[in-house]
Amino acid sequence: MEFKAKEIAEILGGTVEGNPEATVTSFARIESGKPGTICFFANPKYEHYVYECKADIIIVNRSFEPKESVSATMVRVDDAYAAVAALLDHVTAMKRSYKRYRGCRSRVRWSAKIGKKVYVGDFAYIGKKAEIGDYTKIYENVYVGDGARIGSRCIIYPGVRIYSGMIIGNDVIIHSNAVIGADGFGFAPLEDGTWKKIEHTGNVIIEDNVEIGANTCVDKSQMGSTVIRKGTKIDDLCMIAHNVEVGNNTVMAAQTGIAGSTKVGNHCVIAGQVGIAGHITIADNTTFGAQAGVLGSIKEEGKVFMGTPAIPYKDYLRSYAVFKKAGK
């Protein structure tokens, strides 16, 4: 890549403060910026790096008022964090090439429907009557079961397992070794103390623009569908149980587990190692701090919770102050 400051400003809808001809060829973190790189500044904790940074261009918020001189050319935008994400997308799109490829050691069943310029890597398997949309990449060692449907422009990384009958939307990214559509954890206790497996006959529906991290599992439903709504982002090592519904644009950090038949609202933020009990409902715009244990439904929107059992954030802080005193 090679961009001038004025070109970056045009792409991002920003304004240049400094040399519009300043040129960069790569990205760098603001604490390690060097000549020829572009950085961004969004977190106030990193402000001192703005004055020390050797990068040629720094993306900053329009509201930023430097307290010292800045040697780099600044590109001012409404939201620096969102802007750098958009610029990275732009650079990636420039590098991306779509071409039809089918590895000689892959197996695509004759009844499968494969779209335009689809990449199928070696040792990938695509089952009977499966459907793969245009420009999708199915990397090496991926399993796509019979009747599964994957939309256009998806990226399915090596080792992913997509069971029969699962439905994946457009522009979905699934990272290595994720499993989509395993049986839910459902067993009925019998009088002799053993457990009888309950068959799961449903599927998983993953809507458009979802990203699922490595080694994450999304179980199929007992009946009906487990659903991940549009725009949701799920980190590595998460567990989504059978019949769960996750709303639009919710984000979920690593090692979160959601038990069966729970409904999570839109625009929720779920930090790492959060555990959510089954058969409950989480309101829109709810935030859970790391390691929260959610035992009951959250009915009021826009609240923040911490602790186990999860309680409102301010209550948690007051309780923690008492715990600290009790331990002395």
Assign residue 281 the CATH number of its domain. Answer: 2.160.10.10
Whether 322 is in a domain gets the answer: no
Structural domain includes residue 325 = no
pLDDT at residue 38 greater than cutoff 90 = yes
> Is the pTM higher than 0.95?
no
User: Are residue 88 and residue 225 in the same domain, yes or no?
Assistant: no
Q: Is 242 a catalytic residue?
A: yes
Q: Which of 200, 242, 267, 279 is catalytic?
A: 242
Range of the domain at 34: 3-95
Residue at a domain's end among 77, 95, 113: 95
What is the residue-averaged pLDDT of the chain? 95
Note whether residue 326 is domain-resident.
Answer: no
Instruction: Say yes or no: 214 and 280 in one domain.
Output: yes
Domains contained in the chain, number: 2
**Inside any domain, residue 327:** no
For residues 290 and 96, which has the higher predicted lDDT (pLDDT)?
290
42 & 106 share domain: no
Q: Are residues 112 and 88 in the same domain?
A: no
- Residues 90, 203, single domain; the answer is no
The residues facing 125 across adjacent strands are: 107, 143
Q: Are residues 253 and 267 in the same domain?
A: yes
Using one digit for the tens of pLDDT, what is the confidence trace for 202-258? 999 999 999 999 999 999 999 999 999 999 999 999 999 999 999 999 999 999 999
H or E segment to which residue 132 belongs: strand 131-132
Instruction: Assign residue 46 the CATH number of its domain.
Output: 3.40.1390.10
Same domain, 148 and 52: no
Mark whether 69 and 135 lie in a shared domain. Answer: no
Alpha helix stretches (DSSP H) within the chain? 5-12, 47-52, 80-95, 313-326
Burial 226-235 (b: 16+ CB within 10 A, else e): bbbbbbbbbb
Lowest mean pLDDT among 61-65, 89-93, 255-259, 290-294: 89-93
